[in-house]
Amino acid sequence: MMFLLFFLLSTEFSICTTNGAQYNRDVAFDGTNFLVIWEDHRSGTALYHLYGSRVTSSGSVLDPNGDRYAAQNDTVMDQSIAWGGGTYLIAYRDHC
């Protein structure tokens, strides 16, 4: 999965290089780091899971290949992320 963070970074870099597909990313900035989230199909099943990774404003990936954020065994879709009040809020649709 490749991302461009145009407003602070000028080079392309990989956040997730695992097998399987990664789709539908979203990004929020907390004033120091970015949090990038995406639908991830690394499990090899028909399910998509929610993964995310923190990236510094200089482009260092703090969580290579991401951490799983939703623990359910259903497909996560249409995720969105926002920053406010000192915390991230992630909303998504659980497709049972």
Give 55-75 pLDDT, tens digit per residue: 998 889 999 999 998 766 778
**Domain residue extents for the chain:** 2-95
How many Å apart are CA 96 and CA 88, to the nearest integer?
25
How many Å apart are CA 45 and CA 38, to the nearest integer?
16
Q: What's the whole-model pTM score?
A: 0.83
Q: What is the 3-state secondary structure (H, E, C) of 9-63?
A: CCCCEECCCCCCCEEEEEEEECCCEEEEEEEECCCCCCCCEEEEEEEECCCCECC
Which residues on adjacent β-strands are paired with residue 22? 40
96: nearest Cα among 69, 78, 72, 71: 72
pLDDT exceeds 70 at position 9: no
